[in-house]
A and B are shown apart, each in its own frame.
Chain A
Amino acid sequence: MKQDFKILGTRPIRPDGLDKVTGKAMFGADKSVTGMLHARILRSPHAHAEIVSINTAKAEALAGVKAVITGDDFADVENSATRYTMQNCMAQGRALYDGHAVAAVAAVSKAVAAEALKLIEVEYKTLPHVTDVDEAMLPGAPVLHEGVKARTLGDDVSGNTVGYYSFGHGDLETGFSEADEVIERTFKTAAVHQGYIEPHACLADLGGDGRGELWCSTQGHYMVREVCSEILHIDASQLRVTASEIGGGFGGKTTVFIEPVALKLSQKAGKPVKLVMSRDEVFRASGPTMSSSIDIKIGMTKAGKITGAHAKLRYQGGAFPYEMVMMGAMSAFAAYDLEHVQAEGWDVMTNRPKMISYRAPGAPMAVYAVESVVDELCQKLGLDPIDTRLLNAAREGTKSSYGPTFKAIGLVEALEAAKAHPHYSAPLAPNTGRGISCGFWFNFGGQVSVSMAINADGTVSLIEGNPDIGGSRASISMMAAEALGIEFDRVRTIVGDTASVGFSDVTDGSRVTFAVGIATIKAANAAIKEMCKRAAKIWDIDAEAVEWVDGAAQPTGHNAGDFPPMSLAEIAATSGKTGGPIAGHHEGAPDKAGVSFGVHMVDVEVDPETGFTSIKRYTAFQDVGKAIHPAYVEGQIQGGAAQGIGWALNEEYIYGEDGRLQNPGFLDYRIPVASDLPMIEAVIIEVPNPGHPFGVRGCGETSIVPPLAAVANGVAHAIGVRMFALPMSPPKILKVL
């Protein structure tokens, strides 16, 4: 594996940064075109209701209204997953949650569109609803969809239980019998929202001939194209989707919520349609993550060895069938080398918005529950929390709790770094507690396309197909420059639209720097091969006798020929005469994305008068394989930590008895603000991933996994009482004090 880098590991200024600090960057809602209409969506005020009728006549008659649509405007689709996505965008027959779309309007102005919504008459017949996961699993609970219950489950759970998974090995009974101490606890965590600051927004233009243009804020414009062309029954090639700059996603923009609606309105009105969600709509109708109810049982010897571990995870994922609890079940015990372990999970439907991924989807709540019990065991047995984790830590060769045997991983290194850090031995003030937690995420590869042109002036234009959500154009340019042996600012990377480069999977799973990086290196190698060929032609020697060193072609040795190195710029300058344009491209589906472990350490102070928890000091350690742009790696670690802190302390979807969301706004759904947090020290650990030429692992998601338990453990030590539900908001802490 390459070790000596010229560009990797430096901190250049990101190429798209200038537009972002000057306000020029074009996000989803920033584009307008001549003749454009404005759209609005009417949403159900009921948690569960039959839509008896919808009368749109009055709205259609309003001056300035150009199109009104309802669920009836969407023809059925073959694929059931696509059908659920479509019915989440626009209800058909039944409204399944508070905020579910039931009709939409396109009009000449926002004001007219808003006026028209009031004129749509919907007759509802309310139905029994359920929003709590444990209640939704009970036999007799109102069932969201019939016939989708997991095949292997019996009558002891309701039809809302759409998935059951189990992972593990060994024998639990034996494991617990070997323990000196066994603790069994039940936890609850609230649903939280990804909380991106940019609401969903798009501009759609679909002609009667089936040719369309769509501009939207998304984590994957190819995904948008596939889903929308299926729903609209048009050819994928006819729908060109361009990804705008994206104002945050965190998994929440890996599906569609409004794009099919805007396209349908545009088709019906014969004009371009802009559709932007309000914040209220973002909370009520775009995907939050799952809420959970979790049982954990762990046995430990007096020396701190975990002898047996069992998790039962019940996740609530909203109004449609989904699969996500498995990720929690696979993550729950990933940090530990265990002989007897089982993690089970149930996916459950309720009358809430359909869940969508949120950074390391499924893992944070499972790991929160496990790491809380590990901490309680350490407390009870008088053990050091880091030494105990080191004693049980997964390492290279460990058979993981979810099956595979780990290759080189960096958990032990992260724990040792945490133990040696001055934070760990710093004194604690009164009412303050220190919490520790491990965390884990898989990281993925997946389909990717990169096209790279070597321009005649010696610069490089690179097109990739993955929306840049946190600086990936910088890291991709860096890898291209490193592979080609040229300066960083010679490369310009852009995110192409769906017609300009091959298919690319969604920007998720911490995959972009890893997978697009591999494709970039391979595209660069293809271009290098061609450049060596050109140099060989010019020198009139064998192409095999030319190699690429430090950004230039050179003969492999004196026997090959005696020529001075010919730089990329020199070869590019004559490319028109030596055979035409030079380019490299790569399409593939790289795998072997290495898993990433993190360890977080936090000091929290709890005010006994108010129950308010403040974060006094925070240090996060994470193995990232190889940090391409360390500043953005730190940013990923800091950002994930902040989101996890919000999850632990404040953020929560609050539903009333009526099944309606009570806090759909940033005032009452409180994400961390600048004054809530201290500096977050990010300690980068680099245990190279053997599956990547530069050693890169994904790094974006692991950081949201440890904070929940780290904060909860800190609070437990600060107040001397352990809480078993998140968020630990001030009123809840006051209650137990």
Chain B
Amino acid sequence: MSKIHVTTQVNGDAVEFLCAPDETLLDVLRDRLNLTGAKEGCGTGDCGACSVTIDGRLVASCLVLGAEVEGSAIETVEGIGTADALHPLQRHLLEHAALQCGICTPGIVVAAKALLLQNPDPSEEETRYWLAGNLCRCTGYDKIIRAVLSAASELRGENA
């Protein structure tokens, strides 16, 4: 099977890769670009652990083909915040103890960031429905929702 050449942008950097026609974006990110922050929890778009954005749109990267992202700008968890300059979402997740095993956390960070870009002041209910595609088996979601709401509040400049 001949490979497809793809030129794209990942976390602000120009990237080129070759992939098989049936290879998912998730496999490309993990196996070809060594970006293992996005996880495969199901491979069927049900768990959200592989969440990334393509041109700002939140997707399950296990349901996107690598060949589809030609000319796009992709953002993964690796592009959000660094150890010494965490995104407020990441900091609030830590401060609220909103992760236990942490496997769903990258997907939650990516999905919640996409939510706040679209809706800077979400209600608890809106946050719960937006994150309904990100499964977490450890926390019961309580602390995750609190962390996202308090990060949103900080981003709005309310508790600076």
- Residues of chain A at the chain B interface (Cβ within 8 Å): 11, 13-14, 16-18, 20-27, 29-30, 32, 110-111, 194-199, 245-250, 276, 278-279, 469-471, 629, 631-632, 634-636, 638-643, 665-667, 671-677, 679-680
Contacts and interface: CB of A to CB of B under 8 A. Distances in A.
Interface stretch (B63-71, B137-145, B152-160): B137-145
Contacts of B132: 673-676
Nearest to A19: B102
Contact of B40 (A199, A469, A636): A199
Given A198-B101, A671-B135, 19 more contacts: A13-B95, A17-B102, A20-B99, A22-B37, A22-B77, A23-B78, A23-B109, A24-B78, A25-B102, A29-B39, A111-B20, A197-B47, A197-B136, A631-B143, A634-B143, A642-B139, A666-B42, A674-B145, A677-B142
A470 B81 contact: no
B15 interface: no
A675 B127 CA distance: 8
A666 B47 contact: yes
A46 to B, nearest CB: 24
Interface string B1-34: 1000000000000000000101000010011001
A197 B137 contact: yes
A675 B97 contact: no
Contact of B101 (A110, A111, A196, A629): A196
Contact of B43 (A279, A632, A676): A279
A622 to B, nearest CB: 13
Pairs of residues from A and B, 6 with the lowest C-beta to C-beta distance, nearest first: A23-B37, A247-B103, A20-B102, A642-B140, A631-B97, A23-B77
A23 B103 contact: no
Contacts of B82: 22
A643 B136 CA distance: 10
B120 interface: no
Contact of A21 (B1, B93, B137, B139): B93
A247 B94 CA distance: 17
A639 B100 contact: yes
A574 to B, nearest CB: 33
Give the interface centre of B49, B131, B135 by most chain A CB atoms within 10 Å: B135
Contacts of B30: 29-30
Contacts of B97: 11, 14, 471, 629, 631-632, 634-635
Nearest to A24: B37
Given A14-B97, A23-B36, A674 B102 contact: no
B94 A13 contact: yes
Given A22-B78, A199-B40, A666-B135, A632 B47 contact: no
B46 A635 contact: no
A470 B41 contact: no
Contacts of B31: 32
Given A17-B99, A198-B39, A666-B44, A674 B141 contact: yes
6 contacts: A11-B97, A17-B94, A18-B94, A197-B39, A635-B100, A674-B129
| Size range of the chain B interface in the assembly | 35 or more
Given A246-B101, A279-B43, A679 B142 contact: yes
Nearest to A111: B20
Contact of A197 (B22, B38, B49, B144): B49
B61 interface: no
A111 B102 CA distance: 29
Contacts of A11: 97
A666 B40 CA distance: 13
Contact of A671 (B103, B137, B146): B137
B47 A248 contact: no
B104 interface: yes
Given A21-B109, A632-B97, A16 B102 contact: yes
B117 to A, nearest CB: 18
Contacts of A641: 140
Interface in B52-73: none
Contacts, number: 194
Contacts of A639: 100, 137-140
A638 B139 contact: yes
A194 B135 CA distance: 13
A198 B103 contact: yes
Contacts of A279: 41-44, 46-47
A674 B39 contact: no
Contacts of B138: 248, 470, 635, 639
Nearest to B95: A13
A18 B83 contact: yes
Nearest to A20: B102
A23 B78 CA distance: 6
A638 B128 contact: no
A505 to B, nearest CB: 19
Nearest to A474: B97
A276 B26 CA distance: 15
Given A24-B37, A673-B133, A667 B140 contact: no
Nearest to A196: B137
Contacts of A671: 135, 137
Contact of B145 (A471, A635, A642, A679): A679
A220 B47 CA distance: 25
Contact of A20 (B20, B34, B105): B105
B50 to A, nearest CB: 11
B101 A665 contact: no
A674 B106 contact: no
Given A23-B76, A197-B135, A248-B137, A674 B100 contact: no
Contacts of B90: 21-22
Given A635-B97, A641-B140, A21 B104 contact: no
A47 B42 CA distance: 23
Contacts of B139: 635, 638-639, 642
A27 B50 CA distance: 14
A197 B101 CA distance: 9
Contacts of B105: 20-21
A248 B140 CA distance: 13
Nearest to B20: A111
A667 B49 CA distance: 14
Contacts of B41: 197-199, 247, 279, 666
B53 to A, nearest CB: 14
Contacts of A26: 36
Nearest to B109: A21
A667 B132 CA distance: 12
Contacts of B133: 673
A635 B94 CA distance: 13
Contacts of A21: 77, 81, 86, 90, 93-94, 99, 102, 105-106, 109
A638 B86 CA distance: 26
Contacts of B80: 22
Contacts of B136: 197, 674
Given A22-B81, A674-B131, A197 B140 contact: no
Contact of B100 (A24, A30, A469, A665): A469
B99 A29 contact: no
B37 to A, nearest CB: 2
A27 B99 CA distance: 15
A202 to B, nearest CB: 15
Contacts of B1: 111
